[in-house]
Amino acid sequence: MVPVEHNGRTVEQATRCECVRQLQTGRLLEAARIPRRYRHCELSNFEHEGPFRSLASAYMASLRFVKEFPLENAGLLLVGPIGCGKTHLAVGIAKELISQKSTACLFYDYRELLKEIQNSYNASVQVTEMDVLRPVFDAEVLVLDELGAAKPTEWVWDTVSHILNTRYNDKRTTIITTNFPDLPPAATESEGRAARASRDETLGDRIGERMRSRLHEMCRVVRVEGEDFRMKYKSASLR
């Protein structure tokens, strides 16, 4: 029992004890499937000052997202080069939502999710496609890491379209990271072959322009601007 103010007077009210809250948080963290590699990632230890000050705006957007959820159910599309901290931010957001708001979150690497779906087609595996997809559809917050990393095929496009459209229609929140520039397909028929060859692939190239457009309805775009932290700083520390 704890004292609370009610209609100008103090009354006692029952509340869950801290140990129960910690147990619930632990269960939600385990169910989130955060890989061991990223379990140290917190918003509190995300570098955004000094040499990393270019990441400050993305960090502040992440804090604001946690504060506004679930009143604002639009997701985030974290866009930036390899190694600049997008996954750290996405995992940090999920962990804050779990600890602060008891939100059921689920982490999936884009390529691993596609592999699990493909494996479900094997007759010797006792897992159906819907067994894999149902938790992805139903997660209150889905973190989909490295969108576009798998080689684009018609099956890949259809699958990612099915996942994102289902979550969009059910008003589920999705946090997405991608290393590809948030631009339309670069390889248009109007471009010459040499011009196409010299341009980097875009998110539109990897997932299709229709799906990229849908992402803009589902998510706020956050640019994560910075150098490859893993190459520049982690490698240097090992020398």
Peptide bond preceding 81 in cis form (omega within 30 of 0): no
pLDDT at 164: 95
Q: What is the dihedral of CA 21, 63, 183, 138, to 10 degrees?
A: 20
pLDDT at 123: 86
Read off the tokens for 139. 């997660």
Give the helix ranges, DSSP H, for 69-208.
86-101, 110-119, 129-138, 154-169, 193-198, 203-207
Read off the tokens for 40. 């140290």
What global pTM score does this model have?
Answer: 0.84
pLDDT at 226: 74
How far is residue 55 CA from its own chain's centroid? Answer: 17
Among 159, 156, 167, 166, CA closest to 205: 156
Using an 8 Å Cβ cutoff, are 162 and 192 in contact? no
Residue ranges, the chain, pLDDT below 50: 189, 231, 233, 235-239
Among 209, 117, 101, CA closest to 163: 117
Read off the tokens for 88. 């750290």
For strands 141-145 and 105-109, give the pairing: parallel
Using an 8 Å Cβ cutoff, are 147 and 177 in contact? yes
